[in-house]
């Protein structure tokens, strides 16, 4: 431990050194805004749920880890050189890994949607150390997911969910649902009662008398 590098200045980004005491508050880079971080985390998590985890494809998972996931997390310093990817996953194990992660994430989403249990979801995410408190240059505060070298895939996805949920728990309670037709998970306040996503709303209007009447009345 004789060559501990000096801590990076907040201006240089939001990286955190492995093994260091987490700072109380991370400063986001000048161009970043808290609301966009949360929205990006939500989009990346939904992409995992609706696309990446649906069928086992090593290239798709690798792209997600290097792209959508990587863009929204703060890597600890040791990860600058360590690749986060799926190259170590054996072909047969990939389906199992994704199925298991998907199931765990969906179970957590069900909890996050519950007004009472959702609070516990937020607290457990914070207690896990997978999130850091952060603030943008406009003073907006929130959380950013932290990418650690040895995190389970489920925890990577859940850290994205939690960063968004901690700011927007009401969206999870009242606008998140799984489409009955295509089984995609979407946030849509207008369609949450019917539980059919925008892509399939027109199909259902013909089948559901109530929806049809509403459409005619509107
Ligand atoms: Zn749908």
pLDDT tens sequence across 11-22: 334 555 555 555
CA distance 69 to 101: 15
The DSSP code for 30 is T
Q: State how beta strands 141-147 and 74-75 pair.
A: parallel
pLDDT digits (tens, 9 = 90+) for 104-130: 999 999 999 999 999 889 888 889 889
Q: How far is the CA of 196 from the centre of ligand 1 (A)?
A: 6
| Residues 73 and 145: beta-carbon distance below 8 Å | yes
Indicate the domain borders of the chain.
1-174, 176-218
Residue 25, CA distances (Å) to 10, 15, 28, 135, 195 in order: 10, 12, 9, 7, 39
Q: How far is the CA of 195 from the centre of ligand 1 (A)?
A: 9
Q: How far is the CA of 200 from the centre of ligand 1 (A)?
A: 5
Higher pLDDT, 168 or 20: 168
Per-residue pLDDT band at 67 (split at 50, 70, 90):
very high
Q: How far is the CA of 146 from the centre of ligand 1 (A)?
A: 32
Residue 93, CA distances (Å) to 56, 58, 88 in order: 9, 10, 10
Higher pLDDT, 67 or 83: 67
């Amino acid at each position: 431990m004789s060559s501990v590098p000096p801590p990076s200045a907040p201006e240089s980004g939001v990286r955190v050194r492995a093994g260091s005491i987490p700072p109380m508050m991370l400063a986001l880079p000048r161009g970043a805004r808290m609301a966009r971080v949360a929205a990006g985390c939500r989009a990346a998590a939904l992409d995992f749920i609706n696309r990446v985890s649906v069928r086992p494809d090593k290239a798709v998972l690798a792209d997600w880890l290097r792209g959508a996931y990587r863009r929204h997390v703060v890597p600890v310093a040791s990860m600058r050189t360590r690749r986060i990817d799926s190259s170590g996953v054996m072909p047969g194990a990939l389906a199992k890994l994704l199925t298991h992660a998907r199931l765990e994430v969906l179970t957590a989403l069900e909890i996050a949607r519950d007004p009472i249990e959702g609070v516990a979801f937020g607290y457990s995410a914070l207690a896990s150390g997978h999130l850091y408190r952060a603030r943008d240059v406009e003073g907006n505060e929130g959380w950013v997911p932290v990418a650690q070298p040895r995190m389970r895939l489920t925890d990577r996805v859940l850290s994205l969910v939690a960063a968004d949920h901690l700011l927007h728990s009401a969206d999870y309670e009242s606008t998140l649902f799984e489409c009955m037709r295509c089984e995609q998970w979407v946030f849509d306040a207008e369609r949450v009662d019917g539980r059919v996503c925008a892509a399939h709303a027109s199909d259902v209007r013909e089948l559901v008398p109530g929806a049809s009447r509403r459409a005619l009345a509107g």
